[in-house]
Amino acid sequence: MTLHATEPNAASSTAAVSATDAVLDPEETMSRDQIEALQLGRLQHTVAYAYDRVPLYKRKFDDAGIHPTDLRELSDLGNFPFTTKEDLRQEYPFGMFAVPQSEVARVHASSGTTGRPTVVGYTKKDLADWAKLVARCLRASGVRPGMKVHNAYGYGLFTGGLGAHAGAEALGCTVIPMSGGQTERQIQLIQDFEPDVILATPTYLLTIADAMAHMGIDPTSTSLKYAVLGAEPWTQEMRHELEVAMNIKACDIYGLSEVMGPGVAGECVETQDGSHIWEDHFRPEIIDPFNPAPGKENVLGDGEHGELVFTSLTKEALPIIRYRTKDLTRLLPGTARPGHRRMGRITGRSDDMIILRGVNLFPSQIEEIALRIPELSPHFQLELTRPEGQRMDQLTVKIERRDNVTTEQSTTAARVLREQIKIHVGSSCTVAVVDPGSLERSNGKLRRIYDMRPKG
Ligand code: DLL
């Protein structure tokens, strides 16, 4: 099976590797019927395995009056209880593990800025499956064996660094394990080692491109041809910004620690139309995030917007049943991999949603609108305040102007952004256009929202 990928930055290419052909995993080319048949068997195994081995699942299933043998067809999954981050926190650190500790080859954990961290574990087979799926994503995004991969995802407890690393190695690439931060050093090594591919969060790649320009290096002149970006929401406008700024092809990679890490879904470079979820390993569902109906009725149809829910189909150390991701998106039919459904762009997380005088707003909406205004840069943050004596919340969008934009042009751009936000989102806000370089830069996942409202 061959896959035809376009070849960006070909003129400046230094790699002796062809990016046009690739051999796919047999599961990538399965039909929808084949995938669903595979899913049913794996799902039946997983719910029974979780029930037998993890006390929390036994308790939850028993409380809901449901047994693994009740799963006769795929839609029966809708009758099983959800799992949440709270469940993982309660079972901290290892209570959700389904194998003895001696069989756990590695653990990762979330940063735990709010409450206890969530801990996840992997057997040797889980690590091999994870590496295979990340390799699948990278290949789909244009990466080929023999290419040099600069990995700027953070190494450590975060799943990004080591997860991406193992995937690139499994694909047969030369990995440069850079991690996040030390931007000038990253740039030096990009120039010296001449990688073909960069793996980073989209906002960190923006930091790198920006820093290159400030160091007098033309970001389009590097050896980089492909970027595989994820770990935070990003828009088509941001893709365009990065592709033009660096003369690369940029594809999405999605994942979360509780379900595996990066590599749950990945985007194909030839279509760039959203990430295909690898449905031979994960069964996705969409539910109403605010008020899921009881039983099977809680599952929304393909194309409907809601919260993404995942059930793992092959995991040994941490089987996860109906995990509520809080990520808001929709399921779409597969294109470049017809057996696997795609996810639409993630508009945001249900817990990152700003409710401003009754109107729902996500940072990605601001990104989309701001990047259509030529005088404004992609560097922005959202500040929520409640001025003293007032009951109304106030949103201020602080955004950097681009270099060489005059004060007069900035004033006009601020007005246009304010008006566009009012028209497209429905919220009134204040816009402050600030000097280039004055807002905090990303080293990984960028914090966009600063909530300065009085607590309680
Ligand atoms: O961010 C795993 C990852 C690492 C994915 C590197 C891709 C690349 P967590 O730290 O557990 O894991 O955060 C998971 O990040 O629920 C989403 O809200 C967000 N997220 C991850 N990938 C994307 C993406 C890693 N491509 C949380 N688009 C998820 C939008 C993403 N949001």
Q: Do both 341 and 385 map to the same domain?
A: no
Give 286's strand partners. Answer: 308
CA of 161 to the centre of ligand 1 (A): 12
User: Are the C-beta atoms of 203 and 364 separated by less than 8 Å?
Assistant: no
Whole-angstrom CA distances from 79 to 38, 60, 305, 322, 404 are 20, 12, 20, 10, 58
The pLDDT-based confidence of 292 (bands split at 50, 70, 90) is confident
Of the chain, the percentage scoring pLDDT greater than 90 comes to 87
Contacts of 291 (CB under 8 A, 6+ apart): none
Q: What is the structure's pLDDT at 113?
A: 61
Q: Do both 333 and 377 map to the same domain?
A: no
The protein residue whose alpha carbon is closest to atom 4 in ligand 1 is 160
Task: Report CA 137 to chain centroid distance, whole Å.
Answer: 12
407 within a domain of the structure (yes/no)? yes
User: Are the C-beta atoms of 236 and 209 separated by less than 8 Å?
Assistant: no
3-state secondary structure the chain: CCCCCCCCCHHHCCCCCCCCCCCCCHHHHCCHHHHHHHHHHHHHHHHHHHHHHCHHHHHHHHHHCCCHHHCCCHHHHHHCCCECHHHHHHCCCCCCCCCCHHHCCEEEECCCCCCCCCEEEECHHHHHHHHHHHHHHHHHCCCCCCCEEEECCCCCCCHHHHHHHHHHHHHCCEEEECCCCCHHHHHHHHHHHCCCEEEECHHHHHHHHHHHHHCCCCHHHCCCCEEEEECCCCCHHHHHHHHHHHCCEEEEEEEECCCCEEEEEEECCCCCCCEEECCCCEEEEEECCCCCCCHHHHECCCCCCEEEEEEECCCCCCCCCCEEEEEEECEECCCCCCCCCEECCCCEEHHHCEEECCEEECHHHHHHHHCCCCCEEEEEEEEEECCCCCCCCEEEEEEEECCCCCHHHHHHHHHHHHHHHHHHCCCCCEEEEECCCCCCCCCCCCCCEEECCCCC
Q: How far apart are CA 59 and CA 284, in angstroms?
A: 23
Q: Which ligand 1 atom sits nearest the alpha carbon of residue 153?
A: 6
pLDDT of 404 above 80 = yes
Q: How far apart are CA 441 and CA 187, in angstroms?
A: 16
Contacts of 182 (CB under 8 A, 6+ apart): none
The pLDDT-based confidence of 391 (bands split at 50, 70, 90) is confident
pLDDT of 9 above 90 = no
Q: Do both 342 and 413 map to the same domain?
A: no
- Most ligand 1 atoms within 8 A of CB, residue of 178, 256, 351 to mutate: 256
153 within a domain of the structure (yes/no)? yes
236 within a domain of the structure (yes/no)? yes
Whole-angstrom CA distances from 309 to 300, 323, 411, 416 are 11, 5, 43, 38
Q: Which domain holds residue 414?
A: 354-451
Q: Do both 266 and 395 map to the same domain?
A: no
Q: How far apart are CA 353 and CA 356, in angstroms?
A: 9
Q: Do both 24 and 157 map to the same domain?
A: yes
349 lines ligand 1 (CB under 6 A): yes
CA of 69 to the centre of ligand 1 (A): 33
- Per the listing, tokens 């790699």 go with 15
pLDDT in tens, 24-44: 999 999 999 999 999 999 999
Domain boundary, last residue among 328, 346, 364 = 346
Q: Do both 115 and 250 map to the same domain?
A: yes
The pLDDT-based confidence of 91 (bands split at 50, 70, 90) is very high
Q: Do both 213 and 139 map to the same domain?
A: yes
285 lines ligand 1 (CB under 6 A): no
159 lines ligand 1 (CB under 6 A): yes
pLDDT in tens, 436-456: 999 999 999 999 999 999 886
Q: Do both 246 and 282 map to the same domain?
A: yes
157 within a domain of the structure (yes/no)? yes
CB atoms within 10 A of CB 217: 16
pLDDT in tens, 338-380: 999 999 999 999 888 898 888 999 999 999 999 999 999 999 9
CATH number of the domain residue 442 falls in:
3.30.300.30
419 within a domain of the structure (yes/no)? yes
Pairing of strands 174-177, 323-329: unpaired
CA of 96 to the centre of ligand 1 (A): 21
Domain boundary, last residue among 330, 346, 362 = 346
CA of 232 to the centre of ligand 1 (A): 5
CATH number of the domain residue 205 falls in:
3.40.50.12780
Q: Which ligand 1 atom sits nearest the alpha carbon of residue 228?
A: 8
456 within a domain of the structure (yes/no)? no
Q: What are phi and psi of 253, to 5 degrees?
A: -135, 135
Counted domains in the chain: 2
CA of 414 to the centre of ligand 1 (A): 31
253 lines ligand 1 (CB under 6 A): yes
CB atoms within 10 A of CB 264: 27
The pLDDT-based confidence of 388 (bands split at 50, 70, 90) is confident
CA of 254 to the centre of ligand 1 (A): 5
Q: What is the structure's pLDDT at 14?
A: 39
pTM: 0.95
Q: Do both 64 and 170 map to the same domain?
A: yes
327 lines ligand 1 (CB under 6 A): yes
Whole-angstrom CA distances from 349 to 93, 211, 293, 364, 383 are 25, 29, 20, 10, 17
For the chain, what is the mean pLDDT? 93
pLDDT of 3 above 60 = no
Q: Which ligand 1 atom sits nearest the alpha carbon of residue 349?
A: 18
The pLDDT-based confidence of 10 (bands split at 50, 70, 90) is very low
Q: What is the structure's pLDDT at 18?
A: 43
16 within a domain of the structure (yes/no)? yes
Report which residue type is found at 183.
Answer: T
Q: Do both 211 and 286 map to the same domain?
A: yes
Domain boundary, last residue among 282, 311, 346 = 346
Closest to 253 measured CA to CA, from 241, 387, 243, 239: 239
Q: Do both 133 and 36 map to the same domain?
A: yes
Q: What is the structure's pLDDT at 112?
A: 63
Q: Do both 314 and 370 map to the same domain?
A: no
445 within a domain of the structure (yes/no)? yes
CA of 384 to the centre of ligand 1 (A): 24
346 lines ligand 1 (CB under 6 A): yes
User: Are the C-beta atoms of 238 and 244 separated by less than 8 Å?
Assistant: no
